[in-house]
Amino acid sequence: MNRKKLNINPFHDWKLGKDYEPIKLLGRGSYGAVCSAVHKPTGTKVAIKKMDGVFEDEIDCKRILREVNLLRKLRHPYVIEIFDMLEPEDKENFDSVYIVLRLSESDLKKVIKSAIHLQIKHIQTVVYNLLCALKYLHSANVIHRDLKPANVLINEDCTV
């Protein structure tokens, strides 16, 4: 049976507060899960990255802190930026962190696997945007270390 027939809410343990309405679970990874949502006050479509057990492993905790710190500082049209971070309900005792990012329409892995035929101009746009982003990151002394098609977020107009 699927979740809809069982009426199970996939967001029952997500603490998003009153400003965000979760829409759809987009995926799970090694650090947690990502859902699409709407920022209710502005109607902005966002992606919320929920990272669980952030204090269980010191190395993972440092990676998450480094990611948040970098995303707060980096400003480039082709590098994702933090829209918001959700404050925990209990600031003294929490183990999940929620990072809110602007929602991209897809990722390069999905585009490559789809039946969509990209014209040479589209491919050039994606590659140019990606190279510009990497040049910016490298100029800031940042190395991505997990660059793969699934981590290249892309919009309908082929912007990265």
> CB under 8 Å to 123, separation ≥6 — which residues?
none
Q: Please provide the size of the chain in residues.
A: 160
149: pLDDT strictly greater than 80: yes
Token pair for 53: 């057990």
Residue owning tokens 């009153």 = 18
Whether 19 is a known active-site residue: answer no
Distance from CA of residue 14 to its chain's centroid? 16
* 144, pLDDT greater than 80: yes
pLDDT digits (tens, 9 = 90+) for 2-44: 555 565 788 988 999 999 999 999 988 777 899 999 999 999 9
CA distance 31 to 17: 21
H, E, C per residue of the chain: CCHHHHCCCCCCCCCCCCCEEEEEEEEECCCEEEEEEEECCCCEEEEEEEECCCCCCHHHHHHHHHHHHHHHHCCCCCCCCEEEEECCCCCCCCCCEEEEEECCCEEHHHHHHCCCCCCHHHHHHHHHHHHHHHHHHHHCCCCCCCCCHHHCEECCCCCC
Confidence of residue 72 (pLDDT cuts 50, 70, 90): very high
- For the segment 130-150, the average pLDDT, to the nearest whole number, is 94
Q: Write the pLDDT tens digit of every residue in 102-112.
A: 999 999 999 99
Structure tokens given for 139: 């100029």
- Report in angstroms the alpha-carbon separations of 130 from 10, 38, 77, 157: 33, 27, 11, 14
Catalytic residue, candidates 13, 90, 146, 157: 146
